[in-house]
Amino acid sequence: MKTKGEKFAGVTVALVTPFRNGEVDFDDLGRLVDWHVEQGTDCLAPVGTTGESPTLDHEEHERVIAAVCERAAGRIKVMAGTGSNSTREAIRLTRAARRHGADGALMVGPYYNKPTQEGYYRHFAAVAEAVDLPIVLYNIPGRTGSNITPETIARLAELPTVVGIKEATGSMDQASQIAALCNLTLLSGDDSLTLPLMSLGGRGVVSVVGNIVPRDMKALVAAFDAGKFPEALRWHRRLFTLCRDLLGLATNPIPIKAALKLLDRGNGEMRLPLCPLDEAGEAKLRQTLGTYGLLDGVTAR
């Protein structure tokens, strides 16, 4: 069955934001976009959690969206992170994303202020009314402090421009209930749960591990879509440890930034309060990358 945001089915990569000497490295950002076009990634989600949006000021946030959209130039879809715990700011960022040519907005639930379910509804409804751009909701209670319930999500699904949800609660019961209540396009917010979520009606993933192995994530999703379930399961099992460690060794995006550095695809720089992996964490990550076969012939910086 076709879902409401079918255009965002597949593998969307939650894009890292590269920094150099404390500033956004727009040259490297452009190279990342080009690489994902070459890899066949379906969509990019800049300035989300993985893109360190909480440490970008408002001008930088908009400039990153603009830069990714400009470099994408229609070659790859862009689902720009435009969420905020201020509804006015979320509207401003979503308007900017539309102005710069984004295909959609990825909107995290308001964080820290922990709205009621009615507050969640009014927040997203206000953005949907103000900006004509497809919205993919992003529910991640571990970051925001509270859950958007399936009933509220189903209510939001009645809004014309709310087309999908990035489901990052880790609860298969919640995912099942969302799928039963509405026809939003359901996307996994946890790489390691992509296959289980697709078995419940999910249509893909917003992926962290896709920053380094997008083709492998695409192979998993494509195998499931083609009804090749044993093949999809093989990909799940191959990817599992990599997915687990990239989200489990430390807070995202610390491990993925470290992995990119080890793979000679970045300098690993982040902004405080994020800081690099400790020695034990880096050793474990190096082992995981090596076991996967990603460090063959790579000299880490």
The answer to whether residue 166 is catalytic is yes
Contacts of 300 (CB under 8 A, 6+ apart): 261, 262, 263, 264, 286
| Given the residues 120, 121, 138, 292, the one annotated as active site | 138
d(CA 135, CA 200): 22
Tokens found for residue 282: 């880096």
The three-class DSSP label of residue 263 is coil
Structure tokens at 228: 């090749």
Measured CA to CA in angstroms, residue 73 lies from 6, 33, 243 at distances of 21, 10, 30
**Catalytic member of 4, 77, 121, 166:** 166
Contact present, 135 and 128 (Cβ < 8 Å): yes
Residue 138 bears catalytic tag? yes
User: Nearest 10 degrees: CA dihedral of 193, 222, 104, 78?
Assistant: 100
| Active site residue ranges | 138, 166
